[in-house]
Amino acid sequence: MSETKQAIRNISVLAAFLAAVLLLWQAVSSLALLPSYAFPSPVQVGGRLAELAVDGSLWPSVRASLVRMALGFSVSAALGLLLGLAMGMSETVSTCLRSVFLGLQTLPSAAWVPISLLVFGLSDTAIYFVIVMSSTTAMAIATADGISHIPPVLLRAAQTLGTTRRAMSTRVVLPAALPSIVTGIKLGWTLGWHGVVSAELIKSSVGLGFLLHAGRELNDAAQVIGVMLVTVFIGLTLDRLLFAAVERRVRTRWGFAPAVTRA
């Protein structure tokens, strides 16, 4: 099956599934088992999102969350790559940091919010701190694992061909570990996205997390569910259109996934 036909088939199946979910949601809502303010229908949720878009609340919040995520994630990616490279190249560094990072990775993103508020107060720095702490460890561990799984024959071949120790990391180690690094970046983005919304729930006057908090304060379930859906949509869109596509191309290029045949 060609790549285009497979994509069309996947989109058709997904559209049919989502339509079925919406119909089921509408049917359950119509039974009025719960009051409408606690379990709104898809129509009510869509209407509330339209109101947020018209009154100027939605788009500035989406933009604010994405800007915060972009800045915080840039720092996380740089730190994760450097720490992962150090762990992968040095057994001593790996022994010291791996267990600590694995432990930190088990913490939910929301667990970083209280300490960020205590240290940085009610500021955007607190939100950036949560993003960095939520995503850095995953990228560092993935980078270190990618380096540790490089076949030794590749490193010996590079040394035999005269690659210097300084050039080994950039010309051999990082390219060979790239599939794992891309997977780690993808996971780090997901955890960072959790972090930015969690932090905005506590401290922010704009952002998707702020809209969730405002909906809870107003007992507006339609707003809460609508913003949740927007958050999922943004995260899924970036994952599918950017990170998953890059990961698929890299893994295919490195021979870890079968190439798609074209008709």
pLDDT digit string, tens, across residues 216-239: 888 888 889 999 999 998 888 887
Q: How far is CA 98 from the centre of its chain?
A: 21
Identify whether residues 19 and 52 lie together within a single domain.
Answer: no
Residue 259 resides in a domain: no
Q: 67 with 145, same domain?
A: yes
Tell me: do 243 and 205 sit in the same domain: yes
Residue 263 lies in a domain: no
Pair 20, 74 in one domain: no
What pLDDT band is residue 172 in, cutting at 50, 70 and 90?
Answer: confident
Compute the radius of gyration of the chain from its Cα atoms.
22
Determine the pLDDT at residue 258: 52
Secondary structure letter of residue 110 according to DSSP: G
Q: Do 111 and 239 reside in the same domain of the chain?
A: yes
Does 45 lie in the same domain as 10? no
Tell me, yes or no, whether 2 and 132 share the same domain. no
262 found inside a domain: no
Asked whether residue 260 is domain-assigned, the answer is no
> Is residue 136 situated within a structural domain?
yes
Confidence label for 36 from pLDDT (cuts 50, 70 and 90): confident
109 and 8 within one domain: no
Q: 85 and 63, same structural domain? A: yes
Higher pLDDT, 99 or 253: 99
Are residues 65 and 186 both part of a single domain? yes
Reported pTM? 0.79
Same domain? 3 vs 68? no
User: In whole angstroms, what is the distance from residue 246 CA to residue 181 CA?
Assistant: 11
- Do 104 and 133 contact (CB within 8 A), yes or no? yes
pLDDT bracket for residue 85 (50, 70, 90):
confident
CATH of the domain at 164: 1.10.3720.10
Cβ contacts of residue 114 below 8 Å, gap of 6+?
none
pLDDT of residue 162: 66
Expressed as residue numbers, the domain containing 74 is 38-253
Confidence class for position 254, pLDDT limits 50, 70, 90: low
User: What is d(CA 36, CA 223) in angstroms, rounded to the nearest whole number?
Assistant: 12
Has residue 258 been placed in a domain? no
Instruction: Tell me the C-alpha to C-alpha distance, in Å, between residue 124 and each of 69, 127, 131, 206, 228.
Output: 11, 5, 11, 11, 22
Q: Which residues of 162-187 are buried (b: 16+ CB within 10 A; e: fewer)?
A: eeeeeeeeeebbbebbbbbbbbbbbb
Same domain assignment for residues 112 and 29: no
User: Number of folded domains in the chain?
Assistant: 2
Q: pLDDT digits over 59-83, tens only? A: 999 999 999 999 999 999 999 989 9
